[in-house]
Amino acid sequence: MSGNGFHAELSDTGVTVWLTGLPSSGKSTIAQHAAAALVEQGRRVQILDGDELRKNLCADLGFSRADRETNVRRVGCVAELLARNGVVVLVPVIAPYEQSRQAVRALHEAAGTRYLEAYVATPVAVCAERDVKGLYARQRAGEISGLTGVDDPYEAPRRPDILIDTTGRAVADSARLLLDGLSAGVETAAARNGSR
């Protein structure tokens, strides 16, 4: 995964890459592989893990729509603070509602901080088969409700900056799609900013 996929535009500039998708779609795994490649290239990288943040920063929140939106806003604020200080921030957090994701994008844009949305568009049937955390099995057994994409809404991005379907694709290939999209997205943003 090493190589020169990243240019000067990314060498000292922070960016938030929000990986949205269903549970077990591959968000965290892709983020971990991409982070390893970026670290190899000498970048400062931080993964904001949704489960870890739920236990600490957002321990007071449940899973109602309002609480999910608050969770996304809090994580988005932390991501922006890191990105504005030169960190590549990878955020593998479901963020099921379009309005919340757009609010995070707007926060970054208002601060002049680069932001990309990556949609890990793995179909629900594939996610349920993987079932990394056993959530789909527990939902089917009636042990839990409110599972995103099954009995709670997931609003898929209409125009993501990066689109990754992990179905039948090796993790390394999915991570490469993310890294290529990151490189292209940062170059596009740099060109836009240079033309102002």
Give pLDDT tens digits for 134-144.
Answer: 899 999 999 98
For 155-183, what is each residue's pLDDT tens digit?
999 999 999 989 889 999 999 999 999 98
What pLDDT shows up at residue 102? Answer: 96
Instruction: Classify residue 45 as left (phi > 0), alpha (psi -120 to 50) or beta.
Output: beta
Question: What are 94-132's pLDDT values in tens digits?
Answer: 999 999 999 999 999 999 999 999 999 999 999 999 988
How many structural domains are present in the chain? 1
Domain assignment present for residue 105? The answer is: yes
Closest CA to 120 of 82, 79, 90: 90
Give the CA dihedral 69, 73, 78, 80, nearest 10 degrees. Answer: 130
Domain containing 120 — which CATH number? 3.40.50.300
The pLDDT assigned to 156 comes to 95
The reply to whether 131 falls in a domain is: yes
Q: Is 23 annotated as a binding residue?
A: yes
- Spell out where 22-133 has E strands: 45-47, 88-92, 114-120
Range of the domain at 117: 18-189
Residue 6, pLDDT above cutoff 50? no
The answer on whether 22 is annotated among ligand-binding residues is yes
Stretch (H or E) spanning 51: helix 50-55
In a domain, 1, yes or no: no
The answer to whether residue 87 sits within a structural domain is yes
Confidence of residue 68 (pLDDT cuts 50, 70, 90): confident
Is 21 annotated as belonging to a binding site?
yes
Q: Does 11 map to a domain?
A: no
Give the global pTM: 0.86
Residue 37 in domain: yes
Low-confidence winner among 56-60, 78-82, 175-179 (lowest mean pLDDT): 56-60
Smallest CA-to-CA distance from 121 within 32, 50, 48, 20 is with: 20
Cβ atoms of 84 and 122 closer than 8 Å: no
Task: Tell me, yes or no, whether 12 lies in a domain.
Answer: no
Average predicted confidence (pLDDT) for the chain: 87
Q: Is residue 144 part of a domain?
A: yes
Query: Is 28 annotated as contributing to ligand binding?
Result: yes
- Give the orientation angle of helix 27-40 with respect to helix 171-194, to 10 degrees: 70
**115: which strand partners?**
16
Residues β-bridged to residue 16:
89, 115
How many Cβ atoms from other residues are within 10 Å of residue 140's Cβ? 13
- Cα 100 to chain centroid distance, Å, stands at 13
